[in-house]
Amino acid sequence: MLLKDKNVFISGGTGHLGEHLVLAFAKNGANIVFTYHKNKEKAEELISLTKEISLTKEMPGKTAALPMNVLEQDSVERAVTQCVQELGSIDILINNTGIAQVMPLPLVEQEDWDLLFDVNVRGCFFVSKEAIRHMIAANNGGVIINIGSVAGLRMLEVPVHYAASKAAIHGMTYALARELTRYKIRVNCIAPGLLEGGVGANIPPKQLADYLAHCAAGRPGKPEEVASLAVFLASPEASYINAQVIVCDGGL
């Protein structure tokens, strides 16, 4: 129960990593609003799972889901405003929305490049901007965790536009951490390596074998391992960790 009574906003809550983030924060007593784009059915299933978790807790948190399109600033503003109305404040922001596109650079068109940067980078900017306004107004400090990728840090066989978009998130993390110091808002980033399921389920066998050959753990990561790290970074236990891109890749 590291996060009892803390209010959390998680973007991209119905994604493969997103659902594990929602469940991990629920298990630690947080009140959660998470967003989804189109998969309302998955969002409702996730809310049911968090209610089952809450039954085992003496002080259960509450969970709600909101539709949000990170490509539309008005949609982001509505979702963040509704979150504050639902929970009263935002103590923790998890920027998890992101997409990938497996394509060699010579085949990448301008619209492909723009789409990844619009979702992965501009979306993070929109959500952060709106949430930070409320966090500053509340004057209670706070925590922001961005989800980056080891693809933006290592020389790996990954799509160039995906790697570039994730590297941008890492840069945003450093700059935001410095800017928000005066408001006692910590900003960190988690850079996962290859994870089971999700995008990792579609990796070609050759690339998977190469990754495993260089990974000290000898296996892909589990999304719940990343979610556990996010819970720790969001908690008071990590109060001296700020402006970091923390790699969670099994040791590459």
Task: With H, G, I as helix, E, B as strand and everything else as coil, classify residue 5.
Answer: coil
According to DSSP H, which parts of the chain are helical? 16-27, 40-54, 73-87, 110-117, 123-138, 160-179, 205-214, 223-234
Measured between its terminal Cα atoms, the distance across the chain in Å is 32
Rg (CA), the chain: 17
C-beta neighbour count of 182 within 10 angstroms: 8
Task: With H, G, I as helix, E, B as strand and everything else as coil, classify residue 8.
Answer: strand
Tokens 């103590």 label which residue?
Answer: 91
* Cα–Cα distance for residue pair 192/98, rounded to 1 Å: 13
Active-site choice (162, 183, 211, 240): 162
Say if residues 159 and 113 touch (Cβ distance below 8 Å).
no
Residues in the chain: 252
Tokens 């994604």 label which residue?
Answer: 15
Tokens 């536009």 label which residue?
Answer: 161
Active site residue 183: no
Which are the catalytic amino acids? 162
